[in-house]
Each structure stands twice: as structure tokens, then as C-alpha cells.
Structure 1
Amino acid sequence: MENPKKSKSHFPFRLNILFFSIFLLFSVLILRLGFVQIVHGENFKRDLARKEDITISSPVPRGRMLDRDYKVIVDNVPKNAIAYTNEGFSQREMLETADKLAKLIHIKTDRVTERDKRDFWIITNPERADAKITKKERELYTAKKLTDNDIYQLKLKRISSEDLKEINNERLEVLALFKSFNSGYKFTTQIIKNENVTTKELAVVSENLQSLPGVDTTTDWERCYFFNKTLKSVLGKVTKSDEGLPAEQLEYFLARDYSRNDRVGKSQLEWQYEDVLHGYKSKIKNVTDKTGNVIENYPITNGQKGQDLVLTIDMELQKKVDRIIEEELWAAKRYPGTYLTDRAYVVLMNPKTGEVLAMSGKKMVRDKQTGKVEMEDDALGTFTTTYNVGSTVKGATILTGYKTGAIVPGTIFDDAGLKIQATPLKKSYAYLGKLNEITALKLSSNVYMFHTAIRIGKGHYEYDKPLNLNSNSFETIRNSFASFGLGTRTGIDLPNEQSGFKGQSHLPGYLLDLVIGQYDTYSAMQLVQYVSTIANGGYRMQPHVVKQILDPKEGTNDYGPVVREITPTVLNSIDAKPDWMYRVKLGFKKVMQERGGTAYKFFGNAPYSPAGKTGTAQAFYDGPERYRFGKEPPPVMNLSLVSYAPSSNPEVAMAVIVPWAYQGKKDNRANLKIGRRVLDTYFEMKKR
């Protein structure tokens, strides 16, 4: 029988050791937790609470442009597109996505450069790239005698042509996508492909979005012009999706919450009314944790497409005026001495409101490859190019004479030519006898204007003697002309308007040239503002091409409510007595409606009672062919015409300029032919 003391179990002892061990472990854990909570607790709390709010913006379609009758001129055409948003991905992640996406779509590679290929090779072959650095160079790098950039440049230089051959066509598409991914900005959506995106590509990408982080299918747009090239130079252009913000205006747009890859208006109406046409981008806020994972997202705003512009332009009238200019330019080219003739400009405006009804310019351009001459739109030239216009400015000369007291209504001058010492005889085209200011306008007397200018300058004329005038004579006349819109910006709501060239010499003979339109240069827009000022009784109206701004009507092509109406703006009045205005307007009426008037043969039978003034100016040619003539291009004749109708209650004003219309003495009368056809067209359309 065994001894009970010897058979006693050891289990309680082992259990005690286990409990003691657990107690020690829990003690260590509690101490550690206490240490973590006391020493690092606040830091961990901040880490747990840390999250980042990221706002992702998506562009919206631009506003439309409509003509005065609400016909759509410019709209947006939707296009299938594939987009990418860099949500903080690493280069490796972007490369993986580019590799997958390249297998699903075709992407153009024409923008990939030699440098892009070398960078791509280094990224995709890091070990082989490192092997191109020598041991000595690594030692220099360690000694900080070579920088990271130095090492990278060495790698770039040592990539051989054989290395680059590894980037075949398939890898080239991966590179093109990778380059696009990297060119975007973090949390900004950019268009990767919007040209020729097939239905199959759209479907297959949509099916694989889960494995393509940052990639999405969307709808993009491009500008569509319903009247083809009509007025296109004035409508302006929009940057392409791969252009982004213009470099010269980058800070301007960034300060206004634009993204760097946003498309914006870069010229004319698209640029001038960018704030209106651009709209409000849709915005989604993504909330991410500290690792960059999105933990929630919600829309901030759905965005709104850009507002619509209603223009003052009548596009049917614009098209007809364009056609008239083209036909008459081609007809003029059949005359002798028209080798240099290549352009013409017409502006129609409501003289009471400043609304521009049509602004047409056409220019002949020779194709460098085919040699064929074609017409191109140059409506822009109506306010960005200026010319000597001749006698059309004589109405301003007479009114300046009245205002300065140089002449009074009924003042008579003899039309005999003036001979100033050391100056060629200055005369009219023929001797016109003794005449007052009304007849001087009707017959277009130069000499009458010369005498008026001499009196404005407080000078005294004697045959073949020097002519001395007040030193401020040029300033007096130019300031007066500017009150009509001549030689100054008209204020049209378009960028880059030119005020014209002012002759620099103040010799007395040039003052006489100034008052007959043979010295300073003016644009067609300035001429129409000038003649409108006379037509409406002395108020210089600001010309404008935008009539209304409309809010978009979401989900439809209907017109939304008017949010802004562009009202007529009077820039200044010329402070002329009613009798003065009456006499100048009477002279203008006689030009076109009374036998002997310089435009009577073309307008005498017009049923709409026109008034106006013709102009012919000898000018120096400075067009595209000037280099063929060496330093002294031949003198040419510019033709112009200003008019308004009906003469008693004007509703339309017109300016016509045909620069370099002819050389020699064979006048093709292109200004009068264009002017008559344009006014006929306006009133015929009004009847219909």
C-alpha cells in the first residue's frame, strides 16, 4: 500500500504558476496601455480623428450663343469621353491603371516625346537604370558631390536606342496614358479621351471600372457652329481639353476657382464673356481617412451650365452681307489696277441703341500649297484694323468748324485750290465754284474743309506763302473728331479694339489732310459710330454685340429667363445746336438724293430715303504683298461710305471700307455698289 504523502498531486502548484504568469502579462499590458494612453494618447486620438475633406470638381457645358431672333449660333455637341481623377495615387498605381486601360481602348501617341520615352523607361526598369550609374559616381553621390538630379540626368543620357526599342506600340499607348494621368492635378477630373470613343470602348471601360481606380466614363462636349464660318472670327475660340488654362492668364483664372485643365474662352466673345458662358462646376466632397481611403462622399452642388448670350446680330442679314461683299470683291478684281485689292468691311448698327446688326469682313487669302485664292471671314477687322477713309469724315469737320466758331451756317468759300509755300497745290477733284457747307458736303469739296481747318487754327492764307497755325490745332480737331468716335475706341464689348494711327508731323499741310480723312486712320466700327452720332442728333452710342443674357433651362434646349438686358449707353454728346445738325444732315441727304451728289447715281432712286457721305483716300499700301515692292509700296486708293436711312427717322446706320480698292484712275466704285446692295437687303428683309 502506497504512502499517501508520496502520491500528492502537483496540479495546484502548476495552476498557481499559470495564474501568476497571466497576472504578470496583464500587469505588463495594463502598464503598456497606461503608458500609451498617458504619453501618446493625444497623438493617437488626433490620428484616429484625422481625415481630409477633398472637393472634386467636374466641368459643365458652356452657354450657347443665339442671334437676335433666338436662332442658335453656337452650341455644345455631346461626346462620349473617358476621364481620370488622380485621387492621390502613387506612380506605381497610376502605371498599373494605365497598363490595364491601354488594353481596353486605343489612345493616340503623337504627343509622346523622346524625353517621355526615356523617363518611362527609367520608371519601368528601375534596377537596369540604376546599373547605368558607376561605382565612382555612387561614391560621389554619397559624398554629396552629385545631386539626385545629376544622377537622373546621367541615367537619361545612357539610355540607348536599343533600350527604347523595348517600348513597342502597345507600351507606347501605356506611356501616353501614364503621361496624361501625371499631367493632371490631384483631385481634378481630366479628359483622357474624347475623340472617336467607340461604343465598345465605352462599354468595356464601364464594365471594368472597379479595377481601374480613378478612371470613369463621362460625357464631354465640343463647340458646334450652326452658321459654319459666318462671324466665326468674332465668336471666338475655346481652349481644347488638353490645353487647359492659357499660361499668360493662369493666375487670373486660378484666383477664380478654375482648375488648371479647365477649358476657357481664349478669344473674342468666348473670352469677353467667359464669366457668363463658363457656368458653375458640379462639386463632390470626398472624405478620406489618414491612409487616403474614401470613407464617405456627398455632393456640394450639382453645377449649372453656362448662361446663354443673345447677340444683337441678325445672322440671316449677316450671311447676306457676307455674300454681297464676296461677290463685289470678285467683281472689283475684274477692273484694272486691282492687284492689291483683297478685303472689304461693312458694319450695320441701330443708331439709336448701338446694337450691331451685322459686322462683316471678307479677305482674300492665297493657299500656300494650291495657290488658289479663297475668301475667309475677317469680321474681326471691322474694329481691329484701321485705314485712311477720305471724305466720309467731312461731316465731323463741318460740325467742328461750327463748334469752334470757325464757320457759321451759310459760310461761303471759293473752291479754288490752295498753294502753300513748299507744298503741292491742294485742291478738290474739280473746281466747284463758290459754295456753302451744305453744298460742300454734297459735292465733297476739299477746299471748303481746308479753309475751315485754317480758321480753326487761327491761320491766314496767302497764295504761295507759309501757313502758320496754332500749335494746338491738331489736338482741337482730333478731340472733336473723337467725340463722334473717330480716332478713339468705340467701347464695343469685344477685346483688342484698335483706335487707329495718328500722324506724327504737325506741319500745317497735314492739318489740311486731317480734315479730309487723308492723315489719321479709322476703323469701320468708328465710322458707323460717327455717322450714327449725326443720324441720332448728336449722341455717341456705345456699340454692342450682346443684347441679353439668359439663364439656362436645365434638361431642355428652351430659353431660360432673362437675367440681364444690355441697355443703350450714351458715351457723350457733341453739344451741337439743332440747326447745325440739320444742315449737316441736309448735306448728307443731298449726297445721295440730289442730282450732282457724289452718291446720287447709286442711291438717287432708293425708296428708303438714304443720307450719307462718300470717301476716297490716297494711302500707302501696307498689306500682305508689301514686301514685293521693296521699301516704297505704291500708293493706292481706299474707298469708304457712311450712310443712314430713312433720313428723317434713321433706323439703321452703315459704314463701308474697301482698302486698297484700286491703283491709278479707274475707280471701281466698290464702296457704293456694296453699300447700295446692303441697304437694299436690309429694307427688303424688313418688309418680309
Structure 2
Amino acid sequence: MKTNSTKKRNHVPIRVNALFLTVFFLFSILVLRLGFLQIVKGEEYKRNAYLTENVTTKLDAPRGKMYDSHYRVVVDNEPVFSITYTRTRDADSEKRLAIAKKLAQLIDKDTSELTDRDRKDYYILLHQKEVEKRISSAEEKNTPPEKLYDLMLAKVTQEDISSFSKQQLEVLAIKSEMDRGYTLSPQRIKIGATEKEMALISEHLPDLPGVDIKPDAARSYPFGDSFRDMFGQVKQIPKLKMDFYTSRGNDRNDMVGTSFLEEQYEALLRGTKSKIKYITDKKGNPVGDPKEEKGARGSDLVLTVDMDLQKEVERVVEEKLKDAIKGKYAYDNKELNKAYIVMMNPKTGAILSMAGKEYDRKTGKFSSIPFGNIYHSYEMGSTVKGATVLTGLQQGVIDPNSVIVDAPLVFGDGGKLKSHNNMGPVNAVQALEQSSNVFMWNIAMRLSGYDYPHKRFKEHKVNEAFQILRNSYSEFGLGVPTGIDLPSEATGYNTGVSDALSQAMYFAIGQFDTYTPMQMAQYVSTIANGGLRMQPHLLEEVREPSEDPNKLGKLLYHFEPKVLNKIEMKESYLDVVHKGFYEVMHGSKGTAAWVFKNKDYNPAGKTGTAEVDKATGLVNKTLIGYAPYDNPEVAFAVVVPKIREGYTNLEIAEGAMDAYFNKKKEGISTDSTTKKNENQVEPR
């Protein structure tokens, strides 16, 4: 037993030693291998590790929708397919040009936005040696390298860039889009590809590296062209604004609002982008499948505009303008081609409708130009007389009971100035009712220190009179920004200050400075509401995007009416103008009473005629007003430039106001809980 036990004990150390030797041998091999990898191959693997990279690209999310004041969709997102190009690091300019040439044979590409600079760059790309030969003088040949390309651009002529064929321009337009994007960032070449184009692209994908067809969204307009210009456009970032947007975190290939509401509220409408994460090899090509983080649609906007009213007002403007151009006054109105109207809530500044129409005599068609209400300015004539009377009252040169004899004014040089009729003695209310020029001229003369009966200056203050009138007008919104929520607006033309008394007198009757229809709407609203200049606005609410197409998302923001300034004057002074405006539309001698005196909505307002060309008789015909007189809920301004005969200004205002109050009677224009139609959703 002892011998067997001893033998077993001797076997154990042998096995353990063998195991240790095996482990030691394997460990040694591992150490040697690690040493080889680290010492011999370490630098190589380190270099290779740096040649892989994590790259994140972004894709635009759908933009927020827009709704009218009754929560009907007016701007939506329509699913489309876009042709995209994703550039890799090894895709140089020549490779991109080759792909662009192939694409140009398969798709139609719009070339209207190509600039002369784009064409010159392309010409140099195609004819570089030829352009270099044009650098001939010794001075030119010594041009520093950093300025050489600018010199080459200068050598490309207008004739050169006009020589491109339609096919070449399409190649240029495609390549320009391909060049805009970052590496591995899909760049839209064409939004809204046709079925035929998609089929052709699919057939040739192996020959079009980087080209793909992706689902996308484009703006759609359920109400057609109505108010469409004011919604604005969505395009890729314009080259001229590239620095502006990239400095604010945008990518070069972003789709952004480029005009009007789309531009004004870009930060709200723009969604959260989807992110696509790639791992690339040393050549910059993706390795494996990308990972995507989904984005979110932008916020929704609820606007102040009632689209039913808007469409009807547009119809009225077009109909009345056509009557003036084609009807019995056709011979006289050969210069007439456009008209504008703004309707707003005088208590809140909410824009209810904003329309403009322009007639093309060559095609016989109308185009919508609602933006003319904020960008085009005109002499407005007698519609400004309300501000003139209030200035005279405030400055103490007249009082509510002042009476001035409306008779021709005769000056020392024999010159005469008179109203359209000799009205005899009139007070301020009557002067507004009958549109007395003489009454307003007396205000201007008194402000200027001119004693008319004696035809001499007691004190020469014409410059001061100009400044007093212009400052007073500005408090109503005339000649200054209205503050409307759009990217820009015109403020009219300030004709400056003159030493001539006659110029101050013409200023007082609206025939000196120019104003926009929007400024006129703000001006009459200020009078209508008792002296508060309200900021005009198109945005009413901002809502979270909703997953339910029949429900609006959570309310994020509601516009609170903003008072820009308050007219500091006696209420009795404003009452004088209110009564004068009422008599314009109801008095026995009111200049618009024959149209409005029987209207049950009880309007008030002021007509205007500004002489444009004395020789031809061209005038601007205008009209401002509000209703109801005792509790105004809608104010308006109408401008019809370059007309000779007819009452188109009155007819447009009548049709628009009738439309507003008829819809109110029907429970449409003021009740946001109206019967749903296919485009309408409900707030939650």
C-alpha cells in the first residue's frame, strides 16, 4: 500500500509542471505576439485607426403647417420624391461634372436661378486654357495667384456666357447643386421628380455614384393661389445669404424660407433634423449601415387671415379693376393696371385680408400682388386730411368750432388755389365731409406763420411746419415702419423739407410724401380706435405639431395686441375727425355717401384723389374707412394708382366691406367654430 501511494504522489508534480510549462509557453507566445503588434506594427495600426472616422449628416424635417383664422390648413406638406446626390471625399470636380452630364440627359432641371457668376465659373471650367490666353499684358501676367481667378472671371464676356445651350445650362444647374453640399450630406438636385425621371434614374444608378431617390416633402396650398405670395417660398439657402445662415448653425444644403411668412418665421416652421451617423474608411466611404435618429416636424402657425374673406376680396378687386379697364372708361384708363386693399382689425392690428391685383394688357390675365400693400408707396391725396385736422387742433391753429371760408386763394403773384368746389364757410367736420383743400391749406399756412388775408409772413416757419406735420403724421403710422411681422417693408418716400409755402400746403392735402396702403390702414385704424397705433400682424398663434391630422397641437404662443404709441390729444379733437369721417359716408354732401349711406354696417371714412400727371389727368384714387362707426371692428385702405375716370376705389371698398359683414351675418367670418370642411381641423 505504501509503494502505490508513493507512486501516485510522484505523478501529481509531473502533471502540474507540464501544465505550468504549457501555460508558460502559451503566455510567451501571447507576449511575443503583443510585442510584435505593438512594437513592429503599432505605428501602422495607429495610422489605420485614424483613417476611420465617425461622420454625422443631417436631413431636413418637414416644416410646420400654416392655418387660417378658422384653423383651415392653408400651407401643407405634400409627399414627393427628390433626386439627391451624396458626395464622397474622392468625388472631385471632374467626377461631379461627369455625373451632372449624365443626369442632365435623364431629368429636366430649372435653370432660371443661375447667376452670371455661375455661368462664368462654368465657362472657365470648360475653357480654362482659352481664358488664360486672354491674360496677355505683362501687368496681368504678374497678377498675384490669389487674385488670378478674379482676373479670369473678368476676361469672360457676356457673349461667352450667352453661348451655352439649354443642355449645358442644365448640366451647370445640376453641378451647382452638387457642389453646394458637404461630404456625405445628401444634396437635393431636384425636388418633385416625375415618375419617368425616377424610372430613368433607377435604370442608370450603377453609372451614377452618389445619386439616389429619396422621399421628401414639398409645400402645397389647399386654397390655390389665394394669398400664396404672402406665405412665401422655401428654397435652398441663396448664395448671397449663405454666410448669414451658416453663422446661425444652418447647413449649406438646408431648405429655408426665403420670403415673407416662410422667412419671417423660419425658426418656428423649421423642424428638428434627422441625424444619420456613418463610419467611414480611409477613403471616406461609409463602412456598414448608418444609424438614424429621427427628427420632428416644425411648429404650426395660425394666421389672422380669413381665407374665405380673402378669396372674395381678391375676386372683388379683380372684377372692379377689370370693369375700369374694359368698361365704359376703357379709353380714359389706359394707364390703369393695379389696385390694392388692406383690411385689419383696428383694435388688435390683426390683418383680415390683404389683396392686390395687376392686369397684364398683353396677356389679358391678372396676377396677385398682395405684397404691393407693404412695398409700393403712393401719394394718397385727401385721405390724409384727418391727420392734418388733428395736427391743426393739437397745435392750436384751429379749434373744433373754427370756420374758414372755402373760396379760391389768390396770392401776390396772381396764382390761384382752390378746392374742387367753392364751399363757402366750413368747419372742420364739414371740411372733411366735402374734402375742402382750402381748409387744410389754411392749417398749413398758419403753421408756417403765413398771414393769408394780408398775404405776408408774420414769422417764416415753413420748415418748422413741415416738421410739425411730418412728426404728427408719423404718430399715426404715416412715413414710418408699421411693424408688420414680415422680413421687410417700405416706409414710403420722404420728399424732404422745402422753404416753399406751396409745398407745405400740398403736404397738408396728401400730395407731397408717399405712403403704403398698409400705412394707410394703420393710420385709419389709429383714428378708429381712439388714438392707439396698433402693430399690424399676420401671426395669431403658434402650435406644437400634432400627430393627429384632425387636431391642432398644444398652444405654445398667442399674439397679444401691441400698442406702438398712443396719440396724446383731447378726445374731443378725435371726435371732430370721427364726425367728419362719418359725414363723408352719410352726409348730404359727403364725397362717398352716395355709395355707403344706406349700408347697415354704418361705416365712416375718407376719400382721396392725388394728382399724378396734370397733363394727362392721371390720379391716384384712395379710400380709407372703418365700421361700425360707433364700435369699429374692421378698418380698410384702398389704393387705385394711375386712374383717370371711375370710382374703382369706392367700388372695391364697398364689395370688400359687404363681403365682410355678409359673412358675419352667416356666422362665418367671426366665428372660428364654423362647420368643418376637408381642410379644417379643430384645436384641442
The answer on whether the counterparts of 2:109 and 2:190 sit within 8 Å (CA) in structure 1 is no
Opposite residue 507 of structure 1, the aligned amino acid is A
Does 2:363 align with 1:362?
no
- Aligned residue number for residue 346 of structure 1: 341
Does 2:528 align with 1:528?
no
Which of 296, 301, 314 is 1:309 aligned to?
Answer: 301
- Aligned residue number for residue 187 of structure 2: 190
> Hey, what's the Cα distance between the residues in 2 that align with 1:413 and 1:284?
78
Aligned residue for 1:54, secondary structure, equals strand
CA RMSD of aligned residues (A): 3.9
- Aligned residue number for residue 86 of structure 1: 87
How many residues are paired up? 596
- Aligned residue number for residue 510 of structure 2: 517
> Hey, what's the Cα distance between the residues in 2 that align with 1:200 and 1:522?
49
Does 2:572 align with 1:575?
no
Q: Closer, same or farther in 2 for the Cα pair 1:337/1:210, shift >3 Å?
A: closer
Deviation at 1:419, TM superposition (A): 2.2
Opposite residue 503 of structure 2, the aligned amino acid is Y
The answer on whether the counterparts of 1:233 and 1:378 sit within 8 Å (CA) in structure 2 is yes
- Aligned residue number for residue 646 of structure 2: 668
> Hey, what's the Cα distance between the residues in 2 that align with 1:269 and 1:102?
34
- Aligned residue number for residue 540 of structure 1: 533
Q: Which runs of 5+ in 2 are unaligned?
A: 1-27, 130-144, 153-166, 667-684
Deviation at 1:485, TM superposition (A): 0.9
Q: Closer, same or farther in 2 for the Cα pair 1:194/1:355, shift >3 Å?
A: closer
Deviation at 1:208, TM superposition (A): 9.8
Give CA-to-partner distance per residue, 1:537-558, whole Å, 9 cap, x none: 0000011112112222247464
Does 2:554 align with 1:561?
yes
What is the TM-score with the length of structure 1 in the denominator? 0.77
> Hey, what's the Cα distance between the residues in 2 that align with 1:435 and 1:119?
76
> Hey, what's the Cα distance between the residues in 1 that align with 2:598 and 2:169?
71
The answer on whether the counterparts of 1:117 and 1:175 sit within 8 Å (CA) in structure 2 is no
Deviation at 1:440, TM superposition (A): 1.4
Does 2:375 align with 1:384?
yes
- 285-294 vs 508-517, which moves further: 285-294
- Aligned residue number for residue 337 of structure 1: 332
The answer on whether the counterparts of 2:451 and 2:457 sit within 8 Å (CA) in structure 1 is no
Deviation at 1:568, TM superposition (A): 0.7
Give CA-to-partner distance per residue, 1:324-346, whole Å, 9 cap, x none: 11111122232152111111111
Does 2:58 align with 1:57?
yes
Does 2:657 align with 1:656?
no
- Aligned residue number for residue 630 of structure 1: none
The answer on whether the counterparts of 2:405 and 2:426 sit within 8 Å (CA) in structure 1 is yes
Q: Closer, same or farther in 2 for the Cα pair 1:110/1:427, shift >3 Å?
A: closer
The answer on whether the counterparts of 2:85 and 2:188 sit within 8 Å (CA) in structure 1 is yes
The answer on whether the counterparts of 1:73 and 1:227 sit within 8 Å (CA) in structure 2 is yes
> Hey, what's the Cα distance between the residues in 1 that align with 2:349 and 2:651?
25
- Aligned residue number for residue 259 of structure 2: 267
Give CA-to-partner distance per residue, 1:303-328, whole Å, 9 cap, x none: 12222222111111111111111111
Which of 659, 671, 681 is 2:659 aligned to?
Answer: 681
Q: Closer, same or farther in 2 for the Cα pair 1:253/1:102, shift >3 Å?
A: closer
Aligned residue for 2:409, secondary structure, equals coil
> Hey, what's the Cα distance between the residues in 2 that align with 1:607 and 1:99?
65
Deviation at 1:639, TM superposition (A): 1.0
> Hey, what's the Cα distance between the residues in 2 that align with 1:332 and 1:90?
61
Does 2:98 align with 1:106?
no
Opposite residue 54 of structure 2, the aligned amino acid is D
Give CA-to-partner distance per residue, 1:366-415, whole Å, 9 cap, x none: 3xxxx332211111111111111111111111111121122222112121
The answer on whether the counterparts of 1:442 and 1:590 sit within 8 Å (CA) in structure 2 is yes
The answer on whether the counterparts of 2:622 and 2:637 sit within 8 Å (CA) in structure 1 is yes
- Aligned residue number for residue 20 of structure 1: none
Does 2:55 align with 1:73?
no
> Hey, what's the Cα distance between the residues in 1 that align with 2:200 and 2:334?
58
> Hey, what's the Cα distance between the residues in 2 that align with 1:490 and 1:47?
62
> Hey, what's the Cα distance between the residues in 1 that align with 2:411 and 2:570?
33
Deviation at 1:32, TM superposition (A): 12
> Hey, what's the Cα distance between the residues in 1 that align with 2:101 and 2:626?
67
Opposite residue 431 of structure 1, the aligned amino acid is N
Q: Closer, same or farther in 2 for the Cα pair 1:65/1:422, shift >3 Å?
A: farther
Deviation at 1:638, TM superposition (A): 1.5
Q: Which runs of 5+ in 1 are unaligned?
A: 1-26, 123-128, 130-145, 154-168, 622-632
Question: Which of the pair has more CA radius of gyration?
Answer: 1
The answer on whether the counterparts of 2:482 and 2:518 sit within 8 Å (CA) in structure 1 is yes
Aligned residue for 1:489, secondary structure, equals coil
Q: Closer, same or farther in 2 for the Cα pair 1:635/1:593, shift >3 Å?
A: closer
- 573-582 vs 211-220, which moves further: 211-220
Opposite residue 654 of structure 1, the aligned amino acid is F
Matches within 5 A, 1:488-503: 488-503=480-495
Give CA-to-partner distance per residue, 1:211-236, whole Å, 9 cap, x none: 97644432122222222222233222
The answer on whether the counterparts of 1:307 and 1:549 sit within 8 Å (CA) in structure 2 is yes
- 294-303 vs 583-592, which moves further: 294-303
The answer on whether the counterparts of 1:639 and 1:658 sit within 8 Å (CA) in structure 2 is yes
> Hey, what's the Cα distance between the residues in 2 that align with 1:100 and 1:660?
50
The answer on whether the counterparts of 2:88 and 2:285 sit within 8 Å (CA) in structure 1 is no
The answer on whether the counterparts of 1:94 and 1:178 sit within 8 Å (CA) in structure 2 is no
Q: Closer, same or farther in 2 for the Cα pair 1:500/1:193, shift >3 Å?
A: closer
> Hey, what's the Cα distance between the residues in 1 that align with 2:93 and 2:411?
84
Opposite residue 338 of structure 2, the aligned amino acid is R
Aligned residues with identical type, % of pairs: 40
> Hey, what's the Cα distance between the residues in 2 that align with 1:92 and 1:660?
53
